[in-house]
Amino acid sequence: MPRKREVVAFQGEEGAFSQEAVRQMLGSALKVLPCPRFEDVFQALQRGQATAGAVPIENTLHGSVHENYDLLLQYDLTIAAETKVRIVHNLIAAPGTTFADVRNVRSHPVALNQCLRFFSRNPQLERVPFYDTAGSVKALMAERPPHSAAIASAVAAERYGGRILRRSIEDDRRNFTRFFLLRRREEAPPLRHRAREGKEWKTSLVFATRNTPGALFRCLSAFALRDLNMTKIESRPLRGRPWEYLFYLDFLGHVEDERCRNALNHLGELADLLRVLGCYPKGD
Amino acid sequence: MPRKREVVAFQGEEGAFSQEAVRQMLGSALKVLPCPRFEDVFQALQRGQATAGAVPIENTLHGSVHENYDLLLQYDLTIAAETKVRIVHNLIAAPGTTFADVRNVRSHPVALNQCLRFFSRNPQLERVPFYDTAGSVKALMAERPPHSAAIASAVAAERYGGRILRRSIEDDRRNFTRFFLLRRREEAPPLRHRAREGKEWKTSLVFATRNTPGALFRCLSAFALRDLNMTKIESRPLRGRPWEYLFYLDFLGHVEDERCRNALNHLGELADLLRVLGCYPKGD
């Protein structure tokens, strides 16, 4: 349930896939605050211009968004929720434009490249690179160039009044992005007051160890010896410190459960750095 | 040392960062085969149109390139070398154009977004999205539009005869991409014949386990109990099989050393799938 006067920051134009993530996590009865860069989302939240922020953290084709992990370490916020958004690309045009009218298609090059089979089947369509997917629909509706269409999310079509000419034209349907909803620590509802019945919980953390043989193995014993199930582990070399590694780890469990508390205490003994990024209901 | 008639495939236009990786691994006395998609690189190699291929596998800001890990599992090739390329963005123009002449700058949106501080300091410059970094230099030199520049690698400037007006304008100097050099298995020199003195070796593999508590911990014991040092571990959920995970793992060691052989046999007992992707000299 969104609270009163919820303002949610995300990177990109209105209609970006981040906004779809916001809708999945909080509904649409809220104000959005589109930001140019990921760091602007963190800043808007820290400065109180937003009550929450949504950032992508990993994609099934492109891997983890290290920039947002770095920002999570830099800013003292907490993860309040997670969700996965399937990246569905649609061909969108201004009302009145038919598929037969379209000669050029604008979108972000990454989106254009994710629809190569569609363009092979429709060689009459020229691809025009644009800044951002939702922004390509916004510009299309403002300028109304003849023979043009854009590729973006259904949310972008709806936001700017575009018409979807072809749905789901992406090559790969296994393209999902996982998003975190962030809040200021003091404003996230105290965990012990949240309803926990019937829900699985997930905890995300970052830790560092020196890269000596067996160091990670010892750290993971904190979870394995307590039968806690990990859902993500990823190493990342620390630049400039060639023998040190950061690890991103998610496990199923609630930080206030005794087993989890003990595991975190145990990991704290073994790791050089440990930071819990958040504890939140497991998303679908 | 490149062999006779080496033809190396990579994704992107000539002058792409992949070509810089090729140069670091094999020098420049060779033919290159630019390809539109990553899969085209694997196909060119499999069909014998190329003797080697270079693909990005992870980036310090953007994470692992899962698409190329998937292709490594799909095609029966082997990793013969690795290298890291620092992603340095340069402002490039046609000879005769000075910095004061430039009014618009074209490049791939990801590259434009990695130079935001440069654009803040130079508000007279308009950003124009383009398909690809090296391609933006190629087009610039073909069309010679007045007042235009591009952002790309030094290799692209050299390849197309552009002049570098400003070097290293990227915001973040910690932007590195790791590349693999791929060869057909039967053509990679037999490991036992390679000089191994004074070199550290790395082995890359993929394995899968069911996601039961402790499953990964048991798998990692194969390395920890033999004091083998891992340099990468990353989990990836298998789509459609919610309780199974793929793991990418690199460790320091040569597959023909007894300790490594034993570790791989041990891991083979514990994992549901195990595939060694290659054994190659550790890059810088």
B chain contacts of residue A113, beta-carbon cutoff 8 Å: 37
pLDDT > 70: percent of chain A: 94
B chain contacts of residue A60, beta-carbon cutoff 8 Å: 66, 239
| pLDDT over 60 at B195, yes or no | no
Q: What is the mean pLDDT of residues B47-62?
A: 94
B chain contacts of residue A129, beta-carbon cutoff 8 Å: 108-109, 129-131
Lowest-confidence segment of A156-165, B59-68, B135-144, B195-204 by average pLDDT: B195-204
* pLDDT tens-digit readout, A197-237: 668 999 999 999 987 888 999 999 999 999 999 999 999 88
The reported pLDDT for the residue numbered A132 is 87
E strand map for chain B = 7-11, 31-35, 52-59, 63-64, 77-86, 90-93, 104-107, 126-129, 148-152, 163-166, 176-184, 201-210, 230-237, 244-252, 273-281
| Candidate list B78, B97, B177, B203, residue with the active-site label | B177
Who contacts A268 (Cβ-Cβ below 8 Å, separation ≥6)? A274
The reported pLDDT for the residue numbered B60 is 86
The reported pLDDT for the residue numbered B5 is 87
**Residue A194 pLDDT level (bands cut at 50, 70, 90):** low
**Residue A266 pLDDT level (bands cut at 50, 70, 90):** very high
Q: CB contact, 8 Å: B227 with chain A?
A: yes
A179 is catalytic: yes
**Residue A4 pLDDT level (bands cut at 50, 70, 90):** low
B chain contacts of residue A230, beta-carbon cutoff 8 Å: 211, 216, 235
**Residue B211 pLDDT level (bands cut at 50, 70, 90):** confident
Is residue B42 within 8 Å of B71, Cβ to Cβ? yes
The reported pLDDT for the residue numbered A238 is 76
| pLDDT over 70 at A196, yes or no | no
The reported pLDDT for the residue numbered A5 is 87
Q: What is the mean pLDDT of residues B204-223?
A: 92
Residue written as token pair 């644009």? A130
The reported pLDDT for the residue numbered B187 is 84
| pLDDT over 70 at B196, yes or no | no
Q: Note which residues in 72-111 of chain A have CB less than 8 A from chain B.
A: 108-110
d(CA B211, CA B243): 5
Q: Please tell me the distance in Å from B224's CA to the nearest CA on chain A.
A: 5
| pLDDT over 70 at A22, yes or no | yes
**Residue B102 pLDDT level (bands cut at 50, 70, 90):** very high
Who contacts B42 (Cβ-Cβ below 8 Å, separation ≥6)? B53, B71, B74, B75, B77, B182
- Please name the member of B65, B110, B239 whose beta carbon is closest to the beta carbon of A63: B65
Q: What is the mean pLDDT of residues A88-108?
A: 96
**Residue B198 pLDDT level (bands cut at 50, 70, 90):** low
The reported pLDDT for the residue numbered A197 is 61
- Total CB pairs under 8 A between chain A and B: 113
DSSP state of A2: -
B60 is catalytic: no
Average pLDDT of chain A, as a whole number: 91
Q: Please tell me the distance in Å from B13's CA to the nearest CA on chain A.
A: 15
Q: What is the mean pLDDT of residues B249-273?
A: 95
pLDDT > 90: percent of chain B: 78
* pLDDT tens-digit readout, A64-77: 898 899 999 999 99
| Domains observed in chain A | 7-87+175-187 (3.40.190.10), 90-166 (3.40.190.10), 191-281 (3.30.70.260)
